[in-house]
Structure 1
Amino acid sequence: MKIHQNNALGELGGAIGKGILAGLAATAAITLSQMIEMKITKREASDAPLKVAEETTGAKPASEYDEDKLAQELHWAYGTTWGIARELIGLTGLKGLPATLVHFGAIWGTSMILLPAYNASEPVTKQKPQAIAIDGLHHAVYAITAGLVYDAVDAGSKNEKKLTKIARQLKTLIKKYK
């Protein structure tokens, strides 16, 4: 019995879904990484998302509560969206560590270019080495998590025959012991 019929829109939808799942997991991981680092270094939360939003839209939150809420919403939306980029990399056929390295380069490179362009951070050439290393570590946590989650979710299609065989064997065992 055929359960699934391949078509371009279905494949694209599945791809976007895998990317969103990878992006959500990775955003949770980088958030945790940043929270731990901020406790250790006593650093305040970044206002970079707000600065970029202000520069691009001209909007300003009405209160400090609204600032915190908007910063978190932007952080999660941005991180989740980058998960879709991981899926696009996967669609090229690149998998595993090479795909994770490309994703890491795209994410961190974009951050290094966009944040200074929107006055949300100093250019990397003016940052302290420790700050650069910490930022790189956070982005590595994101990329590695997105890669692991994406590869785990994507493995289902590669292992479909194996899973089908196991399911048949389980059905046979269940029938045998009924």
Structure 2
Amino acid sequence: MVTTGTPSLTRSIPRGMAAGIAGTAVMSAFQQVVEMPITGREASYAPADLAERILPIHPQTQQGRERLNWGTHMALGTLWGSAYGVTTHVGLRGVKAFAVVFPAVYTGDVLLNTVLGLYKPGTWTAQEWAVDLTNKAVQAAATGILNDYLFNKDQEVLPAE
């Protein structure tokens, strides 16, 4: 089967962004239902910490901090999704797209947070690495699957010649 062309960036990036929001929701559900009950880890405020470090936003209440955390969490997921939009544009799907997006975006995430003084990966235990990698791999995989679905759902497919 052959699809009818490569999608434009103006089509593929917004779809990737939508997939990124949904993929972030999947990761959040995974954390709440699977990971945190197993590990006993408390909720993370790393997204809020990042926003407070780089933006002039400093909530005065716990509710405000939780809203900032959730909003930043979704915004970061949207950015991860845009990377999938780019891979769609260049023709990568599935495992190949994951193999490009996950290491690039995860490394960027760890480096940015480390440079900003928010992460200290040199001090993380094996469990902390496993939790971080697993949660973000769930997000990246869910985003990729959803991105592929959004891309493929309205593509005209022609029989192979």
TM range (shorter): 0.7 to 0.9
Q: Give yes or no for contact 2:80–2:140 (8 Å, CA) kept in 1.
A: no
Name the structure 1 match of 2:81: 83
Aligned counterpart in structure 2 of residue 71 of structure 1, from 69, 72, 75: 69
Q: How big is the shift at 1:158?
A: 4.7
Which segments of structure 1 move beyond 4 Å, counting only runs of 4 or more? none
Aligned equivalents of 2:128, 2:58: Cα separation in 1: 27
Q: How big is the shift at 1:16?
A: 2.4
Q: Give yes or no for contact 1:51–1:118 (8 Å, CA) kept in 2.
A: no
Name the structure 2 match of 1:96: 94
Q: Give yes or no for contact 2:27–2:139 (8 Å, CA) kept in 1.
A: yes
Name the structure 1 match of 2:59: 61
Q: Give yes or no for contact 1:52–1:119 (8 Å, CA) kept in 2.
A: no
Structure 1 residues not aligned, in runs of 5+: 1-5, 163-178
Q: Is residue 18 from structure 1 mapped to residue 15 from structure 2 by the alignment?
A: yes
Q: How big is the shift at 1:72?
A: 0.6
RMSD over aligned CA atoms reads: 2.0
Q: TM-score, normalised by structure 1?
A: 0.77
Q: How big is the shift at 1:114?
A: 1.3
Aligned counterpart in structure 1 of residue 152 of structure 2, from 155, 163, 169: 155
Q: How big is the shift at 1:58?
A: 3.8
Aligned equivalents of 1:59, 1:148: Cα separation in 2: 33
Q: Give yes or no for contact 2:9–2:85 (8 Å, CA) kept in 1.
A: no
Whose RCO is larger (CA < 8 A, sep 6+)? Answer: 2
1:7-48 deviation line (CA, Å, top 9, x unaligned): xxx933321231122112211111112213122222111121
Aligned counterpart in structure 2 of residue 143 of structure 1, from 117, 140, 143: 140
Aligned equivalents of 2:154, 2:48: Cα separation in 1: 39
Equivalenced residues, count: 153
Structure 2 residues not aligned, in runs of 5+: none
Aligned equivalents of 1:138, 1:83: Cα separation in 2: 15
Name the structure 2 match of 1:44: 42
Aligned counterpart in structure 2 of residue 129 of structure 1, from 89, 105, 126: 126
Q: Give yes or no for contact 2:24–2:74 (8 Å, CA) kept in 1.
A: yes
Aligned equivalents of 1:12, 1:111: Cα separation in 2: 23
Name the structure 2 match of 1:119: 117
The percentage of counterpart residues that share the same residue type is: 30
Q: TM-score, normalised by structure 2?
A: 0.84
1:70 is paired with a residue of what secondary structure? helix
